[in-house]
Amino acid sequence: MAAEPHWVTQDEAVAFNRAVVGASGEQHELVDAKALQNALAHPWNVWVYFMDRDIAVLAARLYTSIAASKAFAAGNKRTAFRTAAAFIERNGCRLDLPPEPGQPVDRLLGYFDGKLSQTGVVDWFRLWMIPCGS
């Protein structure tokens, strides 16, 4: 059995939100701690119950779950992205986005407009991830 991934904690996700909204001058506020806790548990559930060990699958679930949770007053999608990137990094992989990642990130944001499926989000992470251990 593969070793359990290194998960992102709720305190870390809150800190990521504080940083991303602070950078744009917005006010940080955690409005639903339980929703955030549930969102952070989604990839763990995939890992345990579906036995999926693919870091891209788990990162995609983390990204979509946090963004959809609306746990914060502002910056939910940015926080979700930062949290997924941290999850990827702490598990020995990394994202390799271009210096100006506008178009790739816009493609990822298409998930929220129905232009990208959950599978498409997984594919996006696979496309931009440097494989673990490389």
Calpha distance 84→103 (Å, rounded): 18
Q: Which residue has the tokens 């339980």?
A: 34
Cα–Cα separations (whole angstroms), residue 37 to 57, 60, 95, 120: 19, 16, 24, 24
Tens of pLDDT, residues 72-108: 999 999 999 999 999 999 999 999 998 888 889 999 9
Segments making up each domain of the chain, as ranges: 10-17+30-130
**10-17+30-130 is a CATH 1.20.120.1870 domain:** yes
Distance CA 65, CA 42 (A): 7
Backbone angles phi and psi of 27, in degrees to 5: -85, 130
Tens of pLDDT, residue by residue over 21-77, are 999 999 999 999 999 999 999 999 999 998 999 999 999 999 999 999 999 999 999
